[in-house]
């Protein structure tokens, strides 16, 4: 993966680290895992994200935030784009 690709993921991780450190609208503590994997508020768009990433690898929080070393650049870019779309569609930021 090219150096520039990591920048996308680092940006995502940095933003989420700063934003997701308080109570969620659903009443639970909101951290990155809650946002991406368990919050009921985002179930519908989560299905799309998980199905998309599953084409490349098993979806995990680390892969959403940092990419996956064993995938090529284009695959990692596709994943980070899907993660960013999820964030945008959630209207959380």
Residues of the shown chain interacting with Zn ion in the complex, contacts defined by CB under 5 A = 24, 26, 39
Least distance (Å) between residue 86 CB and Zn ion: 14
Can you tell me which residue has the tokens 């599953």?
54
**Minimum CB distance to Zn ion smaller for 25 or for 74:** 25
The count of residues in the chain is 93
C-alpha span between 15 and 55 (Å, rounded): 26
Least distance (Å) between residue 72 CB and Zn ion: 33
**Minimum CB distance to Zn ion smaller for 38 or for 75:** 38
**Minimum CB distance to Zn ion smaller for 8 or for 16:** 16
Structure tokens at 21: 């450190």
Q: Are 37 and 30 in contact (CB under 8 A)?
A: no
Least distance (Å) between residue 24 CB and Zn ion: 3
């Amino acid at each position: 993966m090219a150096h520039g690709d990591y920048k996308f993921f680092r940006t995502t991780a940095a933003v989420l680290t700063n934003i997701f450190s308080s109570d969620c609208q659903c009443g639970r503590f909101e951290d990155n895992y809650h946002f991406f994997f368990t919050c009921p508020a985002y179930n519908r768009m989560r299905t799309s994200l998980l199905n998309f990433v599953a084409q490349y690898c098993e979806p995990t929080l680390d892969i959403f935030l940092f990419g996956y070393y064993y995938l090529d650049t284009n695959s990692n870019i596709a994943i980070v784009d899907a993660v960013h779309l999820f964030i945008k569609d959630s209207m959380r930021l």
